[in-house]
Amino acid sequence: MALQRGIVMLEDYNPKWKEDYEREETLLKSVLKDRIIEIHHIGSTSIEGLKAKPVIDILIVIKSLDEIKEIEDLLKDYDYENRGQQGVPDRYFFAKGPEEARSHYIHFTEPNSDTYYNQLYFKKYLIEHPEYIKKYCDLKQELATKFAMERPKYTQGKNDFIKEVISLAKEEYDD
């Protein structure tokens, strides 16, 4: 399980992804200890039946993004690279593995941030509305075929669908 940076290659859902996540969660908890408020398996590898790039996405909620330098130092020995905020002001993004074989992504955020709710609502909505899993799977396959060597275009092509699902989720889940 790994994928070269910049490449789009989808695989059918693999139950092994859950095991891969659980192993990494155990490692991260042992390294980051009480810095972790919450940790979640997110992204397409966390949703049964959904095709995905074979990279495990992890959401870690920490008290403050001001801790990111110390966290970066703790994770260096475990092959994680801080890739910065990448245009998302309430999140830091870390990638594990060399550019030719990325295996895990961590999204660090604070409690109650937009990133926190967007990630968890998106996953929950897809799981509770399987027709959207099919729609998302079809869209991802179409984009992966069209943009196999252009990951930014693949990602951009998913944006409207993701925003739509998050909007539907907020309508359903917000009080």
What would the pLDDT profile of 3-43 be if each residue is shown by its tens digit?
566 668 899 999 999 999 999 999 999 999 999 999 999 99
Report, as an integer, the average pLDDT of 97-121: 95
Q: Is residue 83 part of a domain?
A: yes
Report in angstroms the alpha-carbon separations of 50 from 37, 64, 68, 100.
28, 32, 31, 24
Residue 69 amino acid letter: K
Residue 164 phi/psi, 5-degree rounding, is -65, -45
CATH number (domain holding residue 119)? 3.30.460.10
Structural domain for 49, as ranges: 16-173
Token digits for 64? 């403050």
Q: Is residue 56 part of a domain?
A: yes
Q: Is residue 30 part of a domain?
A: yes
> Angle at the Cα of 108 (from 106 to 113), degrees rounded to 5?
135
Look at the chain and report how many structural domains it folds into.
Answer: 1
Report, as an integer, the average pLDDT of 165-175: 93
CB atoms within 10 A of CB 92: 23
Distance CA 8, CA 6 (A): 7
Tell me if the pTM is above 0.75: yes
Q: Which residue has the higher pLDDT, 7 or 56?
A: 56
Q: Is residue 5 part of a domain?
A: no
